[in-house]
Every structure is written in C-alpha cells, then in structure tokens.
C-alpha cells in the first residue's frame, strides 16, 4: 500500500491554491482548509487587476484549472482553523466546528485583511456615506456603475492613499505596496467610465515599483487627466447636500487646501489576517505587525522556525497577487524538499 505524505494548507487564496496545485502535481496528498465558502481569498475583492486590467475572475478560474481531475487535492470550505500545533512530528489543526486534521507538513497561507478605515475617525468612514473604501469602489465597478449614496455619478472623486499604512497613529509603519497602483488603476477606471468627471489622488509618495506601474501612472495623467496632490487629508465632513468636504495640505504648493468632492475613496492598507496572527503566535513564529515570520527573507522565505510549518503569500507581509502566486509555488517546492528529507 502506498504511504503518501499529506500536506495541510490553511487558506485557499492565490498562494494556498497555487501551492496546492504544485504539490498535487508532485503526487502529494493535499487538503486545503478555507474559512470562507469559496476559494480565492482577497482576489474576490477585485474586478480588474493592475497593471493590465485583466479580469480578476479569469485569474481566479485559471488558478484552479484541472483541479476537478486532480484526486490529490481536497478543498474544504467553511473551515476556520483555530488551533495549530505539532505533536509527534505531525501537524494537528483544529477547526471551529470541532474537526481535527493531521498532516506531515502544513502551509500557512492565511493571507491578509484590509485595514478597517473606521479607525481613522477623522476621515469619516462609517459616518459619512460618500466616504467609501477601495474595496467598495471595486465592488461598485464590478456592478458597472460608480455612484454616490444618492445614486448619482460623482462629478468629482478623490482617492486617498496610505489609509492604515505608513501611519504611526494606527501602529502600521509599513507600506502596503499595492495601494498606490490600485489608486492609479481605479482612477483610470473611473475616468474611462466618466471622462467628464474629475479625479484627484492624495498621496505621500507615489510608489510605482512593479513592472508597467510607472507607465500606468504616467498614462493616468497624460491620457486621463488624473490630478495628483501630495498631501494627506486631515479632516472630512459632510456638506448639506451630502458631498464630502476635505481639508488637506498641498505640500508641494505649501498651502492648506479645502475642497469638496462627491465621493472620497480610502485606499485601505494591508494588515495581517486574524488567523495569521493567532496561528503564528501559537507556534512562536509571529513577526512584526501580527504577520508570520520566515527564517530568512532572502534565502528561506517559505520556512518558519518550526520544522514542517511553511509560509506562503501575504501572511508574511503585503504582497501583490503576482508575488503571492509565485510564492505559493515556491512554498510547495520547499515542502517537497522537506518531505523527501523526512522519509
């Protein structure tokens, strides 16, 4: 009888799914536990992807291509892992519904959550209806129309970068990496839908580090007339006609600024998911800001300090979708190496 090694993957986001596929292709038994009712993780929050405006749903379906024929993969939904521990060289995961899963190795691919913008109370999210998050913008875009709470198309829209990122006040000193380019993408999408409307992006620095990002940033200005204002918004309030009044400082013009827009979009940053933080702490692999910590960011980024516990995707730090998919595959190869060594 074949004595196949089993691997448990916690989280069926892009990293977890791509790890599962690579492992299964190598004839490893994989069980993926997903706390939601479908796979994809945060990819489900996107309509189109930067920098090429590819349909997010298409990428999602490509991730699971040929899965139905692969007997080595089992994905179980609505399984929230509450406890993960090592016992007698096996990894034991307990779920909130009382099930127990045992494996030779486990991959933590528990992803990220977006910053809750209500913490930045001065920005009025949750108080003023026309202050929305980038996730909500994406959802509206998916439905085909960007509209204010009153149902009208915004004549003026502003995007604010670094909401919950690079912000000492909320305890997140790091850059979330995806928000700048996401704002550029969303501003272009808005202008393509409503060329007569105005779009403004408030920023501290524009960080265009990925391939084609800089080109997109340039295109947003040259082709679509998106206006960039270097400065953070210090206060929002609602006008009598439910518009959003913004106070900010234009740090390039060295002037305070007050303007009214129909809608303000908060580019919410990336934070460690709750499961990432809990499971990392349980296994003493918790790193800064609640993310999981790898052994070495350069040479052993998929390895944790715990033998047999691997890390994939943005449970370690903010990563783009492209990076998460690649990182999932990388984690799979690290696991395969490990399983060979533990024969």
Partner 1 sequence: MEEITKKYWKDYQKEIADDNFYYERSCIRQSFFPGSEAAFLKILREILGKNVIDDPNQHTCTGIGYHSDIVPFDTTMTVVARIFSLMKDHGVNNFIPSCVTSFGIFNEVVETWNHFPEEYEKTKHFLKQATGRDFEIPQNISHASDIIYKYRKELKEKMPYRLVNRHTGKPLRVVEHIGCHYSKLFAKKSEGGMEFSKVLVGMIEEWGGEVVDYPERRHCCGFGFRQYIVMANRGYSVANTKKKFESMQPYKPDFIVANCPGCAMFMDRWQYTIAEMEGTTYDDNKMGIPVLTYEEMAGFLLGFNPWDLGLQLHQVQVEPLLDKIGIPYDPKDKYVGKSGNFLGEPEKPENLITVYGK
Q: Which residue bears the tokens 């809608």?
A: 263
**Cβ nearer to partner 1, comparing 276 with 324:** 276
Closest residue by Cα to residue 179 from 137, 143, 148, 221: 137
Q: Given candidates 44, 70, 74, 119, which one binds partner 1 under the rule CB under 8 A?
A: 119
Minimum separation from the CB atom of position 290 to partner 1 (A): 9
CA–CA distance, 132 with 137 (Å, rounded to integer):
7
Q: Given candidates 78, 171, 274, 284, which one binds partner 1 under the rule CB under 8 A?
A: 171
Which residues from 215-274 bind partner 1, rule CB under 8 A? Answer: 235, 237-240, 245
**Which residues touch 196 (CB under 8 Å, ≥6 apart)?**
155
Which residues from 47-86 bind partner 1, rule CB under 8 A? Answer: none
- Rule CB under 8 A: say whether 197 interacts with partner 1: no
Number of residues that bind partner 1 (CB under 8 A): 16
Cβ atoms of residues 132 and 264 within 8 Å:
yes
Minimum separation from the CB atom of position 302 to partner 1 (A): 22
CA–CA distance, 220 with 85 (Å, rounded to integer):
49
CA–CA distance, 164 with 290 (Å, rounded to integer):
14
Q: Given candidates 170, 206, 208, 259, which one binds partner 1 under the rule CB under 8 A?
A: 170
CA–CA distance, 238 with 251 (Å, rounded to integer):
24
Long-range residue pairs from 121-127, CB within 8 A, at least 24 positions apart, any chain:
122/233, 122/234, 122/235, 122/236, 123/160, 123/163, 123/233, 123/236, 123/264, 123/266, 124/236, 124/237, 124/238, 124/244, 124/264, 125/266
- Rule CB under 8 A: say whether 127 interacts with partner 1: yes
Minimum separation from the CB atom of position 227 to partner 1 (A): 22
**Which residues touch 285 (CB under 8 Å, ≥6 apart)?**
292, 293, 304, 305, 306, 309, 311
Residue 328: phi and psi, rounded to 5, are -65, -45
Q: Given candidates 83, 152, 288, 305, which one binds partner 1 under the rule CB under 8 A?
A: 288
Q: Which residues pair with 112 in a beta bridge?
A: 272
**Cβ nearer to partner 1, comparing 120 with 191:** 120
Judged by CB under 8 A, which stretch of 35-43, 45-53, 66-74, 118-126 contacts partner 1?
A: 118-126
- Rule CB under 8 A: say whether 174 interacts with partner 1: no
**Cβ nearer to partner 1, comparing 135 with 170:** 170
Q: Given candidates 83, 121, 205, 274, which one binds partner 1 under the rule CB under 8 A?
A: 121
Q: Given candidates 142, 289, 306, 326, which one binds partner 1 under the rule CB under 8 A?
A: 289
Q: Given candidates 62, 66, 96, 118, which one binds partner 1 under the rule CB under 8 A?
A: 118
Q: Which helix (H) or strand (E) holds 142?
A: helix 134-142
**Cβ nearer to partner 1, comparing 197 with 245:** 245
Minimum separation from the CB atom of position 228 to partner 1 (A): 24
Could you tell me the sign of the dihedral formed by the alpha carbons of 87, 102, 34, 39, in that order?
Answer: positive
Q: Which residues pair with 29 in a beta bridge?
A: 6
Minimum separation from the CB atom of position 110 to partner 1 (A): 19
Contacts with partner 1 by CB under 8 A lie at 116, 118-119, 121-122, 127, 170-171, 235, 237-240, 245, 288-289
């Amino acid at each position: 009888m074949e004595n196949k090694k089993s691997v448990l993957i916690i989280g069926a986001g892009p990293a977890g799914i791509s790890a599962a596929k690579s492992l299964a292709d190598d004839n490893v038994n994989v069980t993926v536990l997903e706390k939601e009712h479908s796979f994809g993780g945060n990819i489900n929050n996107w309509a189109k992807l930067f920098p090429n405006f590819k349909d997010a749903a298409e990428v999602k379906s490509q991730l699971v291509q040929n899965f139905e024929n692969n007997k080595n993969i089992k994905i179980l939904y609505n399984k929230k892992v509450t406890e993960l521990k090592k016992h007698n060289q096996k990894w034991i995961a307990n779920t909130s519904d009382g099930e127990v899963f045992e494996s030779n190795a486990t991959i933590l691919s528990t992803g990220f959550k977006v910053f809750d913008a209500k913490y930045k109370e001065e920005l009025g999210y949750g108080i003023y209806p026309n202050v929305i998050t980038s996730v909500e913008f994406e959802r509206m875009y998916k439905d085909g129309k960007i509209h204010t709470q009153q149902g009208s198309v915004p004549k003026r829209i502003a995007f604010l970068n670094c909401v919950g990122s690079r912000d000492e006040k909320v305890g997140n000193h790091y850059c979330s990496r995806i928000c700048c380019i996401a704002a550029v993408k969303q501003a272009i999408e808005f202008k393509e839908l409503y060329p007569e409307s105005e779009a403004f992006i408030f920023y501290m620095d524009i960080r265009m580090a990925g391939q084609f990002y800089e080109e997109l940033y340039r295109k947003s200005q040259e082709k679509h007339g998106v206006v960039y204002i270097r400065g953070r918004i210090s206060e929002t309030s609602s006008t009598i006609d439910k518009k959003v009044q913004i106070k900010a400082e234009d740090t390039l013009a060295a002037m305070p600024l007050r303007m009214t827009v129909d809608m303000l979009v908060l580019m919410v940053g990336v934070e460690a998911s709750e499961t990432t933080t809990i499971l990392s702490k349980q296994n003493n692999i918790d790193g800064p800001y609640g993310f999981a910590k790898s052994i070495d960011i350069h040479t052993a980024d998929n390895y944790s300090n715990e033998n047999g516990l691997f890390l994939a995707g943005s449970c370690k730090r903010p990563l783009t979708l492209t990076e998460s998919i690649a990182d999932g595959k990388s984690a799979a190869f690290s696991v395969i190496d490990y399983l060979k060594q533990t024969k």
